[in-house]
Amino acid sequence: MFLIPNAVVRFFHRMASPPHFYAFTDKVMPWLIIVFVLLTGFGLYGGLYLAPSDYQQGDSYRIIYIHVPSAWMSLFIYMVMAISGAIGLVWRIKLAEIVAISSAPIGASFTFIALFTGSLWGKPMWGTWWVWDARLTSELILLFLYLGVIGLYGAIDDKRVASKAVAILALVGVVNIPIIHYSVEWWNTLHQGPTVTKMDKPSIHVSMLIPLLLMALSFKFYYLIALIQRMRIELLQRERNAQWVKAKVSELR
Amino acid sequence: MKPARKQRLILIALMVIGASIATAFALKSFNDNLMYFFSTTDVVEGKAPKSALFRLGGMVIKGSVERPDDGMMVRFKLTDFSKEVTVEYTGILPDLFREGQGIVAHGKLNEQGVFIAEEVLAKHDENYMPPEVKASLKNQTEPVIAK
């Protein structure tokens, strides 16, 4: 703990308290939305208009600006879900449990978008919508893991028990994450190797890379916005008998 | 850290490590089945199935693509830079099918050791660049990507 500055520790301590979290997110939400809109605007303008067309794929490669950030998000959100699930299991922090379960539908959507746009991209380039190679199959398993988490949480009435069950499922599923990432290196697949996320320098021209990174950042902000909205609803539902929620409700009346 | 929390943390760590080891063994034993295609060397060395359908991947050798008669039949040679296999295919090739390009073909070998493909998929590489950069790369053969 001594490595983390005191102010940061205090911030997280306060954020773990539901009423504090509720009030704080109310204030930051407009700023998050502004940053998200700006990033998406610049990212799409850069990717769809400014970036040159590819030497081999022409303009069809531009789906990369949706496909790749979605695929990155599908992995990133899964890790957030598993880690916050583990924190919930060990420290029994209510807010960590809520982060985990609120991430699942967002992660599932990004996984679906990655699979769907990949399919649209595969038809003209590879000549097929779908193949059962290691990359595509492991990404499909990731979608099923997300759906499993959502289903399991819904099936258990006691939400604190449900959160524990979900956290264990998510943690076991973590083994799939390196498999997805390294599938294109460990086995021969139809999907090509990594372009950006490798030790070597990215094999994409810098004029195409910048919009891609902007889009990746914009998707991170979208996740943050969607996560906070979902967390606030989940929090109100779970804490409906708490004093601060009753006070909030009577304020509105 | 309180003992109860420490215990839970260790339990979780053990669970994740256990699951990883189990998966690693499972993947190791299914390694061959997870390969999406056989290489041309596998075929020449006889590791590929003799009479069953399988997938063959490799690079189309420059200058090897020919159309022996007026029909749709295309004949070309695939390589993994060590062994070569001749492929015959009748049908429409994907847009990205070019000489010097990686492809994956689905089909089987005939008695002469020629691979009769039923389906040809193009594999594209992980490089993205504007055509001008590609042209200048060809001319000077020194990397100018991501300067």
- CATH number, domain with residue A174: 1.20.120
Domain assignment present for B102: yes
Are residues B59 and B90 located together in one domain of the fold? yes
pLDDT in tens, A127-139: 889 999 899 999 9
Mention every residue, 6+ apart, whose C-beta is less than 8 A from residue A106: A77, A223, A226, A227, A230
| Total domains, chain B | 2
Of A190, A192, A207, the CB nearest to B121: A190
Structural domain of A60: 28-230
Question: Which residues does chain B have within 8 Å of residue A86's beta carbon, measured at their own beta carbons?
Answer: 12
Residue B99 lies in a domain: yes
Residue B112 binned pLDDT confidence (cut-offs 50, 70, 90):
confident
* CB-based burial, A228-246: b 16+ in 10 Å, e otherwise: bebbbebbeebbeeeeebe
pLDDT band at B82 (very low <50, low <70, confident <90, very high): confident
Count of Cβ atoms closer than 10 Å to residue A188 Cβ: 20
Q: Are residues B114 and B74 in the same domain?
A: yes
Q: Judge if B42 and B107 occupy the same domain.
A: yes
Please tell me whether residue A118 adopts helix, strand or coil conformation: helix
**Predicted pLDDT of residue B146:** 43
d(CA A61, CA A48): 10
- What is the reported pTM? 0.88
DSSP track, A40-106:
HHHHHHIIIIISPPBTTTBGGGGGHHHHHHHHHHHHHHHHHHHHHHHHHHHH--HHHHHHHHHHHHH
Whether A110 is covered by a domain: the verdict is yes
Do A190 and B36 make contact, defined as CB atoms within 8 angstroms?
Answer: yes
- The H-or-E segment that residue A151 falls in is helix A134-155
The span from the CA of B48 to the CA of B54, in Å, is 8
Say how many domains are in chain A.
1
Q: What's the average model confidence in pLDDT over B8-35?
A: 89
Residue B109 sits in the same domain as residue B41: yes
Nearest-CB residue to A175 (from B23, B129, B147) = B23
Q: Is residue B129 a part of any domain in this protein?
A: no
Residue of A nearest to B39 (CA): A188
A166-176 mean pLDDT: 95
Residue B140 confidence (pLDDT) above 70:
no
Q: Which residues constitute the domain of residue B50?
A: 36-122
Q: Is the pLDDT of residue A169 over 90?
A: yes
**Which of helix, strand or coil describes residue A190?**
coil
Residue B90 and residue B42 share a domain: yes
Q: Is A190 on the interface with B (CB under 8 A)?
A: yes
* Counts for chain A of helices (H) and strands (E), in that order: 9, 0
ipTM entry: 0.79
A197 to chain B, any CB pair closer than 8 A? The answer is no
CATH code (residue B80): 2.40.50.140
Partner residue opposite B130 with nearest CB, options A52, A86, A201: A52
Q: What is the pLDDT of residue B21?
A: 94
Clarify whether residues B46 and B117 are in a common domain: yes
The answer, yes or no, to whether residue B11 has pLDDT greater than 70, is yes
Q: Is residue A247 part of a domain?
A: no
| Domain match, B24 and B86 both | no
Q: Are residues B114 and B45 in the same domain?
A: yes
A205, A209, A213: best mutation site toward chain B, by most B Cβ within 10 Å?
A205
Do residue B47 and residue B99 come from a single domain? yes
Output the CA angle A29-A106-A20, nearest 5 degrees: 35
Q: Is the pLDDT of residue B145 over 50?
A: no
Please indicate, yes or no, if residue A10 is contained in any of the structural domains: no
